[in-house]
Chain A
Amino acid sequence: DVVLTQTPSILSATIGQSVSISCRSSQSLLDSDGNTYLYWFLQRPGQSPQRLIYLVSNLGSGVPNRFSGSGSGTDFTLKISGVEAEDLGVYYCMQATHAPLTFGSGTKLEIK
């Protein structure tokens, strides 16, 4: 199985601060069809996960543009440019290039 290593596991930020989360894959996530099936999700307390980013860098529907995704191959990053209070929760990366689909271990964002 593809292992996705997320760092850090806990992130403490002040309102307005910019932060980044890393997701490193044990294998390249570039598919033979030319797509890289890497996604980012946020699960707020008491809610279902929300898809923030799809295919590495595409912003999900209704997602604020302070969120951005980048990377290629095995190294990916989610950046929040100016954290807001509503951004607290657990962030996950997920890959769907290789079966079985796998998730990272999660990054908990706390607001100072």
Chain B
Amino acid sequence: EVQLQESGPGLVKPSQSLSLTCSVTGYSITSNYWGWIRKFPGNKMEWMGYISYSGSTSYNPSLKSRISITRDTSKNQFFLQLNSVTTEDTATYYCARGPGPRDWGQGVMVTVSS
């Protein structure tokens, strides 16, 4: 059974960087695609980007140059870094497997506030 678990701070100050970790068990991240998706207060969902089995990345252009997704294959983890956050980045962040994700983490709520 594939399991994904997000971890990271629940509160980030404006202009700082948001950093989250997704720990994966039951499946190697050197296979498939691994992404980050966020849900804003209300119902809006946004795909942020993914890292592939080979390490290549694809990002949502709306996030411009603020986003970076990396991985550590030795720990079977992948990471999200979002720079220069504002209050509009307040959301629940999910990591997920696959472009049309079958498997999701439980989500981590991140608030951007001073």
Residues on A close to B: CB < 8 A? 37, 39, 43, 48-51, 54-55, 60-61, 90, 92, 94, 96, 99-103, 105-106, 108
Interface size of B in residues (CB-CB distance below 8 Å): 20
Is residue B86 contacting chain A, with contact meaning CB distance below 8 A? no
A37 to chain B: closest residue by CB: B100
Is residue B32 contacting chain A, with contact meaning CB distance below 8 A? no
Q: At the interface with chain A, which of B20-28, B56-64, B75-83?
A: B56-64
Q: Which residues of A contact B105 (CB under 8 A)?
A: 48
Q: How many A-B pairs fall under 8 Å by CB?
A: 50
Residues on B close to A: CB < 8 A? 39, 43-47, 58-62, 94, 99-102, 104-107
Q: Which residues of A contact B94 (CB under 8 A)?
A: 48-49
A30 → B minimal CB distance (Å):
15
Known: A103-B46, A105-B43; 5 extra A-B contacts, CB below 8 A, are: A49-B101, A54-B100, A60-B102, A94-B47, A99-B58
